[in-house]
Structure 1
Amino acid sequence: MIRKSSINIAKVASRRALSGLVRGRPVCSSFAAQPRSSPVLLRSLPIVSNNVFGIRTYAVTTVPVPEMAESITEGTLKQWVKNVGDYVELDEEIASIETDKIDVAVNAPSAGVITEVLAAEEDTVTVGQPLFKLDTDGSADASAPPAPKEEAPKPAETPKEPEASKTEAPKPAAAAPPPPPPPPPAAKPAAASKPAAASTPETPSTPGSRDERRVKMNRMRLRIAERLKQSQNTAASLTTFNEVDMSNLIEFRKLYKDEILKKTGIKIGFMSFFSKALCLASKEIPAANGAIEGPNGGDTIVYRDYVDISVAVATPKGLVTPVVRNAEAMSLLEIEKAIADLGHKARDGKLTIEDMAGGTTTISNGGVFGSLMGTPIINLPQTAVLGLHGVKDRPIAVNGKVELRPMMYLALTYDHRLLDGREAVTFLKLIKEYIEDPRKMLL
């Protein structure tokens, strides 16, 4: 009797355990209250249980919003690159989070299958918040697709049905002739459609449409608006102008651009020359490369021995200013390559926080878009921003004669709290002299 009862008890226990696994519950009753994705359950059900009962268990990992930067704690979930049920490889991009500075890619911490997403697009997410669930044991799913192929032979076993359909096909082919008659009537409405279009003058209402669209500002645009207004409210902004004759610089570029491109692969432009001229002018007017720091508007002036140039780059989401560091120690070609690399990263949305942090002065080139003249806004806490504009042929006096020369207007917006008018005008005049005679930059 003891043996029979013990056998019966064992059978009942095994049946309950098996049914519990099939329903997704743990075998051990002590973990019955634990959710399926809890780490305790994952440890209590190792993959070895698969070999015992022949049933696959899931190792689900909850992936949180990653650390984005020291100063960024939240962002907007802009896009799910992958969907629930998709198999992803290690480090494959799952989603994209937009912050007020850059877009952050969320990558898979391991290979597996996405089982659930815990946030919707356009939701605000914070660092550490659960974002999605990943079945890290889902690698077996990658081999699942071949299974349906094995069932393919079944339809192959019934070739008679397609044959029957083929024999029936010619009959509809014979019935095909009737369709030709309908085309003529179709042509009549086509002809009628022409006068109809002429008789509907209301349709051209689209040019005078009064429709409106409202689109929520993205985080980058909101941040740009905030910083520009802060600059306008804080700095005592003033702009001084000058014009520069680009003849010598254009001739210099024409002479050597092909040779430089062939030897180095760098396409030399104007930005590197203006950057070098700005670095040299900053040595003579250090306040133009300085900043005001301290509480209550600032009571300390910071002078720098280095020049980190913020280069304004227009992107679909807004204006960004990646930084060329230690430009004063670079050659013209090194500056040109650094600017080109940052420009490509900005347009591809691959800038990092490190690429944009800092900056002691800014160059904004509105001339590439056809600007004739403008007043750029200071990028706080910087003191000055140099604005470049379009090159236009204009008549000017040269040695008592009127000649057509390629001229560019320069604009320097500066913070009058730190930079006096005399210094600002001198700073811009130095840049003009270096550009009009590039050889002076070698002295």
Structure 2
Amino acid sequence: MPVNTVAVPTMGDSITEGTIVDIPAPPGTYVNEDDVVVVLETDKVSVDVRATESGVVTEIHGEMDDVVEVGEDLYKIDTDASAPEGGAAPPANDEAPPAAETVTAASAPAPAAAAASPPATAAPPAAKPAAPPVAPPAPKGVGSREESRVKMSRMRQRVAVRLKEAQNTAAMLTTFQEVDMGALMELRSKYKEEFEKKQGIKLGFMSAFVKASTAALQEVPAINGYIDDETNEIVYRDYCDISVAVASPGGLVVPVLRNTEDMSFADVEKTIAMYGQKARDGNMALEDMAGGTFTISNGGVFGSLMGTPIINPPQSAILGMHATKMRPMVVDGVVVPRPMMYLALTYDHRLIDGREGVTFLKSIADKIADPGRLLLGI
């Protein structure tokens, strides 16, 4: 009986393992080609492992919440089994173990006969944003003293580790700057319809911040570099890959805009829109989120007035955007209401001096307050 063994697929250069979070096709289930057999959760995304051929799943090498490593046997499928009548599939044979008796590849060796069978090549995994954490249960009411526990997802665990590593490693310092958004808002209002008609995409504010940040990164190269702690070297980059937050059904994901120094406003808006669509469709690839030399975090969409973002290692700095609020400002000796935004730059003080950090943030603010500077390159 030809039983193919499918291994845990490669899920990205930095991903070595995943946790089984769902088994849509337990042993005894007939699946068609490309049906989801097992769902794995990694540090960054959830991955659907699909059937490479039609057949009956005979064994799953693991149970819910088990950790499996890339390259290990994940499941077996009998490709000779025919589709059952009525849609329900009986086990492929009497020897197929029930779901309760499956074992992990790490805890028990594979049978000799199975080892002799050539392993099947897994279909390319479909990556989608990791599922959001389970929502806290609703309060029981006044006077209730009950407690509940919810297991942390791998993604949340990894976020916790990386943020703590950033605090333990980098000498983080945050500096603030306020920027008058009036000129940019007027520019957008004046040209948004013509821009959308010609470019086929709406004009937002993020493209201006990406281009302003890119220009500032080229003016202050230290912000775009990082410290290689293993070699005690500073690595400077002559390209700008900016990570931006995009909403998805599973929460925020942070894809990377590559070579933003070569992008136009339209290129930035189209790329962000493309990533947004991929996130909504659950088609975000690991490669889309890998790397990045600088991050822009927009807490303003949630109403944040001011905050101190945390660096995403190995990057050396992150820009925090906040909500635009009308505030009284003195302009030419007269108090007038202006749309103002606070900007926050958190940077690694081991590499970036205060002068460089403030110069960089002031450069962004100047370019946003006077968008003509972006055209003139000043």
Same fold by TM (over 0.5)? yes
**Of the candidates 284, 305, 310, which is equivalent to residue 377 of structure 1?**
310
State whether residues 102 and 349 of structure 1, in contact with CA within 8 Å, keep that contact through their aligned partners in structure 2: no
How far residue 267 of structure 1 moved from its aligned partner, in angstroms, is 2.1
**Of the candidates 414, 417, 426, which is equivalent to residue 347 of structure 2?**
414
Q: Secondary structure at the match of 1:217?
A: coil
Gaps of 5+ in 1: 1-41, 43-58, 147-203
State whether residues 92 and 107 of structure 1, in contact with CA within 8 Å, keep that contact through their aligned partners in structure 2: yes
Match for residue 247 of structure 1? 182
**Of the candidates 283, 290, 298, which is equivalent to residue 365 of structure 1?**
298
Match for residue 14 of structure 2? 71
How far, CA to CA, are the matches of 1:404 and 1:128 in structure 2?
Answer: 61
Summarize the alignment of residues 174-253 of structure 1 with structure 2, pairs less than 5 Å apart: 206-253=141-188
1:82 aligns with 2:25: yes
Query: CA offsets per residue over residues 360-389 of structure 1, 9 Å max, x none?
Result: 111000000000000111111111111000
Match for residue 258 of structure 1? 193
TM-score by length of structure 2 reads 0.80
Structure 2: which amino acid aligns with 1:333?
A
The aligned length equals: 325
How far, CA to CA, are the matches of 1:271 and 1:70 in structure 2?
Answer: 29
Match for residue 208 of structure 2? 273
**Relative contact order higher in (CA < 8 Å, ≥ 6 apart):** 2
Structure 1: which amino acid aligns with 2:298?
N
Match for residue 133 of structure 1? 76
The more displaced of 332-341 and 392-401 is: 332-341
1:402 aligns with 2:335: yes
The more displaced of 120-129 and 98-107 is: 120-129
Which structure shows the bigger proportion of residues in helix conformation?
1
Closer, same or farther in 2 for the Cα pair 1:209/1:261, shift >3 Å?
farther
Root mean square deviation of aligned Cα: 2.2
Query: CA offsets per residue over residues 111-153 of structure 1, 9 Å max, x none?
Result: 2222343322222222233332322122x325x349xxxxxxx
How far residue 348 of structure 1 moved from its aligned partner, in angstroms, is 4.6
State whether residues 249 and 279 of structure 2, in contact with CA within 8 Å, keep that contact through their aligned partners in structure 1: no
How far residue 356 of structure 1 moved from its aligned partner, in angstroms, is 1.8
Summarize the alignment of residues 299-338 of structure 1 with structure 2, pairs less than 5 Å apart: 299-313=232-246, 320-338=253-271
How far, CA to CA, are the matches of 2:260 and 2:48 in structure 1?
Answer: 30
Q: Secondary structure at the match of 2:83?
A: helix
How far residue 70 of structure 1 moved from its aligned partner, in angstroms, is 3.1
**Identity of counterpart residues, as a percentage?**
59
How far, CA to CA, are the matches of 1:106 and 1:370 in structure 2?
Answer: 38
How far, CA to CA, are the matches of 1:95 and 1:389 in structure 2?
Answer: 40
Q: Secondary structure at the match of 2:307?
A: coil
How far, CA to CA, are the matches of 2:187 and 2:289 in structure 1?
Answer: 31
State whether residues 384 and 412 of structure 1, in contact with CA within 8 Å, keep that contact through their aligned partners in structure 2: yes
Query: CA offsets per residue over residues 29-88 of structure 1, 9 Å max, x none?
Result: xxxxxxxxxxxxx4xxxxxxxxxxxxxxxx332322222233322111111233444432
How far residue 325 of structure 1 moved from its aligned partner, in angstroms, is 0.7
Query: CA offsets per residue over residues 212-246 of structure 1, 9 Å max, x none?
Result: 11111111111111111111111111111111111
Gaps of 5+ in 2: 88-138
Q: Secondary structure at the match of 1:240?
A: strand
State whether residues 221 and 318 of structure 1, in contact with CA within 8 Å, keep that contact through their aligned partners in structure 2: no
